């Protein structure tokens, strides 16, 4: 701002051009906006990495295909943002796409940025799976959980866990597919169930599953805390009409967030991971709401 003041004085004296002042003005606006929305990442969990879970809604192949499109979108967002993205668990659709998939997105403030994605995402398009070329609507839910670090203690009693093992599905070679290296654990008090098949050994998958379970329990505690403060955004919604947080209308070339009203007309860019506009708009909207 001080540099902008000096430039304006120089402009008034005819020593610099209007273009130079405008350039500095835009830089100042960008810096102020950056400071403003970063100030909204003020919760202790915001700085953590996150687990991002995608589940296809009702609709069979259409919904499974949409879930995989979202999966690709978040992988591309993570990679473009410098995060480390790892697939932890995946259940493929019967014909195409995925029924469910879980990603670990590791890096500073991954949860703070992506917590806005919690909710139902709606796709409207001319379906490639419909021989009559009809316009179809599909739903998928996204849940985002913070990955707890060593500074956060979550106690899990071994007596509260019910373990099961099974063969992993998908790519990975003979070892993954022919040995029972994948694990499933149910936390009896909460009913939370976690599966992990990311690693080659059962032992490593058990360790990762415990970490995933702790993250789910931490997110559950955060939800209860937010609910106590009457935070409506903490409530998870059904995979159906009227509950979506964002609509992706491909034939009209628009993606709109129904909470912030932010809209992007470049649907290809959004599905290729260009989410910054939506994430920043949510942070500003959520900050003002608070």
pLDDT digits (tens, 9 = 90+) for 114-159: 999 999 999 999 988 877 778 899 999 999 998 876 666 788 888 8
According to the model, what pLDDT value does residue 177 have? 53
**pLDDT tens string 27-67:** 998 888 778 777 888 888 898 999 999 999 987 899 999 99
Beta bridge partners of 87: 103
The predicted pLDDT at position 231 comes to 45
Specify the pLDDT at position 70. 98
Burial of residue 261 (CB within 10 Å: 0-12, 13-18, 19+) is exposed
Q: Which residue has the higher pLDDT, 132 or 18?
A: 18
Task: Say how far apart CA 251 and CA 266 lie, in whole Å.
Answer: 11
Task: List the single range of 22-26, 125-129, 186-190, 248-252 with lowest mean pLDDT.
Answer: 125-129
What is the CATH architecture of 45-150+232-289? Answer: 2-Layer Sandwich (3.30)
Residue 275's closest CA among 144, 103, 116, 143?
A: 116
DSSP category for residue 196: E
| Contact indicator for 221, 43 with CB cutoff of 8 Å | no
Which token pair is 270?
Answer: 């959004």
Q: What is the CATH code of the structural domain delimited by 158-226?
A: 3.30.160.20
Q: How far apart (Å, rounded) are the C-alpha atoms in residues 289 and 48? A: 23
The Cα–Cα gap between 172 and 72 comes to 19
- The full DSSP string for 123-171 is EEEE-TT-TT--EEEEEEEEEEEEE--TTS-----GGGEEEEEE---SS
Spatial separation of the C-alpha atoms in residues 62 and 55, rounded to whole Å: 12
pLDDT tens across 65-98, in order? 999 999 999 999 999 999 999 999 899 998 899 9
Higher pLDDT, 255 or 198: 255
153-212 residue pLDDT tens: 788 888 899 998 888 765 544 444 557 789 999 999 999 999 998 888 888 899 889 988
Residue-range domain boundaries for the chain: 2-38, 45-150+232-289, 158-226
Pairing label, strands 182-187, 84-92: unpaired
- The pLDDT value recorded for residue 133 is 75
* 45-150+232-289 and 158-226 in the same fold: no
So what's the pLDDT on residue 236? Answer: 47
Give the model's pLDDT for residue 276.
Answer: 93
- Whether residue 286 has pLDDT greater than 90: no
Whole-number pLDDT of residue 238: 54
Give the three-class secondary structure for 266. coil
| Cα 196 from Cα 203, distance rounded (Å) | 11
Spacing of C-alpha 277 from chain mean position = 14
Q: For strand 244-249 and strand 135-147, is the pairing parallel, antiparallel, or unpaired?
A: unpaired
Tell how strand 98-106 and strand 49-56 pair up.
antiparallel
pLDDT at 226: 66
Average pLDDT for 266-289: 92
Q: Are strands 98-106 and 119-126 parallel, antiparallel or unpaired?
A: unpaired
Task: Report whether 137 contacts 122 (CB < 8 A).
Answer: yes
* Region for 170 from its dihedrals, namely left if φ exceeds 0, alpha if ψ lies in -120 to 50, beta otherwise: left
Q: Which pLDDT does position 234 carry in this prediction?
A: 43
Mean pLDDT in residue range 92-109: 93
**80-252-132 Cα angle (round to 5):** 110
In the predicted model, what is the mean pLDDT of residues 9-24?
Answer: 90
Residue 111 has pLDDT above 90, yes or no: yes
């Amino acid at each position: 701002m001080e540099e902008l003041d000096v430039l304006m004085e120089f402009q008034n004296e005819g020593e610099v051009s209007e273009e130079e002042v405008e350039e500095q003005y835009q830089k100042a606006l960008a810096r102020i906006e950056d400071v403003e929305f970063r100030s909204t990442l003020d919760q202790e969990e915001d700085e953590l990495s996150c687990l991002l879970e995608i589940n296809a809604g009702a609709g069979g192949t259409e919904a499974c295909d949409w879930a995989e499109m979202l999966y690709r979108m978040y992988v591309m967002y993570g990679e473009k943002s410098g995060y480390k993205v790892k697939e932890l668990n995946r259940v493929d659709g019967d014909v195409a796409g995925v029924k469910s998939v879980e990603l670990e997105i590791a890096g500073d403030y991954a949860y703070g940025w992506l917590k806005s994605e919690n909710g139902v995402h709606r796709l409207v398009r001319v379906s490639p799976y419909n021989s009559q070329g009809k316009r179809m609507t599909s739903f998928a839910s996204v849940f985002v959980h913070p990955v707890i670090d060593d500074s956060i203690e979550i106690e899990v009693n071994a007596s509260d866990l019910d373990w099961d093992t099974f063969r992993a599905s998908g790519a990975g070679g003979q070892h993954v597919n022919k040995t029972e290296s994948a694990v499933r654990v149910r936390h009896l008090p909460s009913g939370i169930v976690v599966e992990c098949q990311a690693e080659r050994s059962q032992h490593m998958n058990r360790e990762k599953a415990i970490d995933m379970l702790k993250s789910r329990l931490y997110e559950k505690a955060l939800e209860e805390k937010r609910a106590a403060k009457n935070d409506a955004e903490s409530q998870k919604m059904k995979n159906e009409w009227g509950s979506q947080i964002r609509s992706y209308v491909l034939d009209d070339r628009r993606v709109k967030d129904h909470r912030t009203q932010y809209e992007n007309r470049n649907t290809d860019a959004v599905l290729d991971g260009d989410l910054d506009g939506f994430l920043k708009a949510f942070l500003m909207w959520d900050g003002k709401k608070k």
